[in-house]
Amino acid sequence: MQKFDAIRPFYDSEINDAILNVKNHPMMKAMMGFTFPDVADAVWKEQLSKTHSIRDFQCNFIYHTIQKVLEKSSDGLSTSGFEKLEKGASYLFVSNHRDIVLDTTLLNVALFEHGLVMTASAIGDNLVQKDFLNVLAKLNRNFLVQRGLSPREMLQSSKNLAEYIGYLVEHENRSVWIAQREGRTKDGNDATNPGVLKMLAMGSDEANLMDYFKKLKIVPVSISYEYDPTDVLKIPQLIAETNNEVYVKEKNEDFMTLLSGIMGQKKRIHIHIGDVLDQEIDTIKNEFDNNNKQIQALAQVIDDSILSSYKLWPTNYIAYDILYKTETYAKYYTENEKSLFERRLDMRIDAENPVALQGLLDMYANPVVNKLKYNNELKG
């Protein structure tokens, strides 16, 4: 399958050589020092040198790194819905997207702990420009979404990506994680971009597109963080969009966002696994005979699952009440939680900048607004 070589992660046969090439890299030393603070360098280097598969690397190293991240920067990870998945089965997880690294890595932690197939995960190639990060991504079973191409190149790249995703799920029995839209949600409005589904459709080998999507076993995933560790980093782009300006990223901005997401305070985190979209896809197939209408309907079904299952935290209710000058949801938070949130606002943005304040409050309040569409009475 050489046509996938430009985007695929390492094969297990390539793992050991890749590890030996980076085991002395300063960033590997920093990561291992963080993960195993009481272990001598020689010990983890020897263990790395004996690693010959992605699974071994993930289970023996990355899993422990994420446990340390959770210990240092969160109040824990909770999950729901994983019991609906079959052991040994592969799925296409379509997820809302809040954090560059943690969304997919935390899902894999939960899949591992439930004895389920872990994912190959899509990542933009703009995020792995540094050689070490590129190697680390491929060691962790990430495949690349190529950015910055010409329209003709993008069309071919999208088709290749779609075929690779289909190949993984159907022929490799490998689950896949993909975000419901390109880029992280900046304003708290999680919405599936039909363009992502159109890309996936380019891998179809079925006369009816819905038959292909059914074979992929699509599972919507909702992930929510009590505190978004990169919330304030999203504000400049929101301000630019408010002013109808083109946002240009600073040099190394993606890398700094990546680090902030990993190490920034998140408090509680929840992942919910939705139902495998099966009967819903049958319904769409019966109701619509046009591909575009089918894709629009499927995007809505995914949104319905993600938004209705989204775990709301006190921060969401607090932001809603502050933004709309109400006490509608005061029963879902304490005065102490509210004062902590207000202090966070004061510390992280200039109170004299109303657009920044609005953007930050929207980011936390919009999940409440969105969930109101599904629940008559919200429950924490």
**Buried/exposed code over 247-282 (b: 16+ C-beta within 10 A; e: otherwise):** eeeeeeebeebbebbbebebbbbbbbbbebbeebbe
Please, which pLDDT band fits residue 370 given cuts at 50, 70 and 90? very high
Q: Which residue has the higher pLDDT, 114 or 343?
A: 114
- The mean pLDDT of the chain is 92
Please, which pLDDT band fits residue 341 given cuts at 50, 70 and 90? very high
Both tokens of residue 36? 């195993």
Both tokens of residue 31? 């990561």
Q: What is the mean pLDDT of the segment spanning 77-83?
A: 98
Q: What is the mean pLDDT of the segment spanning 32-56?
A: 97
pLDDT, one tens digit per residue, over 313-335 is 999 999 999 999 999 999 999 99
Q: Look at residue 380 in the predicted model and tell me its pLDDT.
A: 44
Q: What is the mean pLDDT of the segment spanning 46-53?
A: 97
Q: What is the mean pLDDT of the segment spanning 117-145?
A: 94
pLDDT, one tens digit per residue, over 298-308 is 999 999 999 99
Give the chain as a 3 state SS string.
Answer: CHHHCCCCCCCHHHHHHHHHHHCCCHHHHHHHHHHCCCCCHHHHHHHHHCCCCHHHHHHHHHHHHHHHHHHHHEEEEEEECHHHCCCCCCCEEEECCCCCCHHHHHHHHHHHHCCCCCEEEEEEHHHHCCHHHHHHHHHCCEEEECCCCCHHHHHHHHHHHHHHHHHHHHHCCCEEEEECCCCCCCCCCCCCCHHHHHHHHCCCCCCCHHHHHHHHCEEEEEEEECCCCCCHHHHHHHHHHHCCCCCCCCCCHHHHHHHHHHHCCCEEEEEEECCCCCHHHHHHHHHCCCHHHHHHHHHHHHHHHHHHCCCCCHHHHHHHHHHCCCCCCHHHCCHHHHHHHHHHHHHHCCCCCHHHHHHHHHHHHHHHHHHCCCCCCCCC
Q: Look at residue 347 in the predicted model and tell me its pLDDT.
A: 76
Please, which pLDDT band fits residue 166 given cuts at 50, 70 and 90? very high
What is the value of pTM for the model shown? 0.93
Residue 151 has pLDDT above 80, yes or no: yes
Q: What is the mean pLDDT of the segment spanning 183-197?
A: 92
pLDDT, one tens digit per residue, over 52-69 is 999 999 999 999 999 999
Q: Look at residue 379 in the predicted model and tell me its pLDDT.
A: 52
Residue 173 has pLDDT above 60, yes or no: yes
Q: What is the mean pLDDT of the segment spanning 286-294?
A: 95
Q: What is the mean pLDDT of the segment spanning 161-190?
A: 94
What distance lies between CA 370 and its chain's CA centroid?
19
Residue 80 has pLDDT above 70, yes or no: yes
Q: Look at residue 259 in the predicted model and tell me its pLDDT.
A: 76
Other beta carbons within 10 Å of 226:
21
User: What is the percent of the chain with per-residue pLDDT over 90, rounded to a whole number?
Assistant: 78
